[in-house]
């Protein structure tokens, strides 16, 4: 073998050796770091105060990672800490991906929809019925506002939260959002419409409007009816306030009919008995109801009754109202015969 051929042979052998060595190193690294033992999607809950080592050991024991050392190294690469929460681990997720999720707090999230017009107790019952949330809905800390919620304190909306979020934390989100709305109203220096003195009055009337109609387009007209009645010193005679009084603040007759005898119940919330607004809101309200009270329609209406199609007929005199009411009774009679 000539010198030139020998040199080529040596270089080829060297390159082959380097290649074999690289494979010997990279294959295990690839196997440990990027391949995954996770065969199906699973959920992992990380509690407060869990150490990286403890989590790594748990993940290896449940066959979610191949190496605790690689997982811990990856966590250090992404900041060194693991955040609490519930994590949806997808199938074939590598140790690096799981470490990144937990270090960044990419927790599983859920949508919580709170309808407008519910009382605090109804909202609490809804949260208790959600299996994706945790913890109680009541607390006793006198310094914590969420432990002393009243109707009108919460803002119904759609909330995106981490799965496993505490129910009290959801209530606090709702409370803070309503507080911001109030603060913004105060900051603008706007005044409440004539007949209303403060924010409590605004939300109280908005809660009645909210319970009277689901139609945002109709709310300013309904608000105008009650503001006109307040101006004329007429009783509001709002059925939802009677329901609130009869049910002890629950706000739901639970299938029972509202009877004439209920209109005489002795309660400061019964607007058939007492003049003016109830002392406080009877439900938690959305933006449309608040906006309707702050910007009511310009009408002379004093009465309204259901029209049978989800809306209402309005009247500025009792005579027209009686006719509208007779029409509504006929509609109900016809529907009951079907």
Q: How many CB atoms lie within 10 A of CB 34?
A: 13
Which H or E run contains 304?
A: strand 303-306
At 32 the pLDDT is 46
Q: How does DSSP classify residue 283?
A: S
CA-based nearest residue to 239, from 247, 231, 329:
247
SS3 call for 155: coil
Buried b (16+ CB within 10 A) or exposed e, 101-122: bbbeebbbebebebebbbbbbb
Torsion of CA 160, 115, 275, 186, to 10 degrees: 20
pTM of the model: 0.81
Q: What is the mean pLDDT of each run of 10 residues along the chain (338 residues)?
A: 55 48 40 69 89 95 91 91 90 92 91 97 97 94 95 97 93 98 93 94 98 96 98 97 96 91 96 97 98 98 92 95 89 72
Q: Report the alpha-carbon angle 155-158-164, nearest 5.
A: 105
179 CA to centre of own chain: 15
At 28 the pLDDT is 43
Q: Report the alpha-carbon angle 217-218-223, nearest 5.
A: 120
Torsion of CA 76, 79, 83, 89, to 10 degrees: -60
- Under 8 Å between Cβ of 249 and 215: no
- Under 8 Å between Cβ of 281 and 206: yes
Report the alpha-carbon distance of residue 276 to residue 266 in Å, rounded: 15
CA-based nearest residue to 55, from 32, 37, 74, 41:
74
Going along the chain from its start, the domains and CATH numbers come out as: 33-107 (3.30.1490.480), 109-188 (no CATH), 199-337 (no CATH)
Q: What is the largest CA-CA distance in the chain?
A: 122
- Under 8 Å between Cβ of 219 and 213: yes
């Amino acid at each position: 073998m000539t010198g030139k051929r020998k040199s080529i042979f040596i270089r080829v052998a060297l390159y082959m050796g380097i290649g074999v060595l690289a494979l010997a190193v990279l294959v295990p690294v690839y196997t440990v770091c990027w391949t995954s033992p996770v065969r199906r999607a699973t959920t992992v809950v990380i509690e407060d105060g869990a150490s990286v080592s403890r989590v790594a050991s748990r993940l290896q024991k449940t066959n979610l990672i191949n190496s605790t050392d690689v997982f811990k190294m990856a966590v250090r690469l992404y900041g060194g800490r693991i955040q609490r929460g519930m994590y949806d681990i997808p199938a074939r997720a590598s140790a690096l991906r799981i470490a990144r999720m937990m270090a960044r707090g990419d927790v599983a999230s859920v949508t919580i929809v709170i309808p407008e017009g519910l009382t605090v107790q109804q909202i609490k019952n809804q949260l208790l019925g959600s299996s994706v949330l945790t913890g109680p809905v009541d607390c006793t800390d006198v310094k914590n506002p969420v432990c002393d919620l009243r109707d009108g304190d919460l803002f119904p909306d759609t909330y995106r939260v981490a799965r496993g979020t505490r129910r009290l934390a959801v209530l606090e989100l709702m409370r803070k959002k309503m507080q911001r709305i109030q603060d913004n109203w105060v900051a603008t220096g706007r005044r409440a419409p004539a007949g209303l003195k403060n924010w409590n009055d605004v939300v109280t009337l908005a809660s009645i409007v909210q319970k009277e109609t689901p139609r945002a387009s109709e709310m300013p007209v309904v608000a105008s009816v009650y503001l006109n009645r307040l101006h004329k010193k007429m009783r509001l005679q709002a059925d939802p306030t009677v329901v609130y009084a009869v049910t002890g603040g629950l706000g739901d007759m639970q299938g029972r009919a509202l009877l004439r005898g209920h209109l005489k119940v002795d309660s400061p919330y019964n607007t058939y008995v007492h003049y003016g607004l109830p002392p406080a809101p009877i439900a938690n309200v959305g933006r449309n109801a608040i906006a309707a009270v702050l910007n009511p329609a310009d009408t002379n209406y004093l009465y309204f009754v259901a029209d049978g199609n989800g809306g209402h007929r309005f009247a500025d005199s009792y005579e027209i109202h009686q006719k509208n009411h007779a029409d509504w009774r006929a509609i109900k009679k016809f529907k009951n015969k079907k």
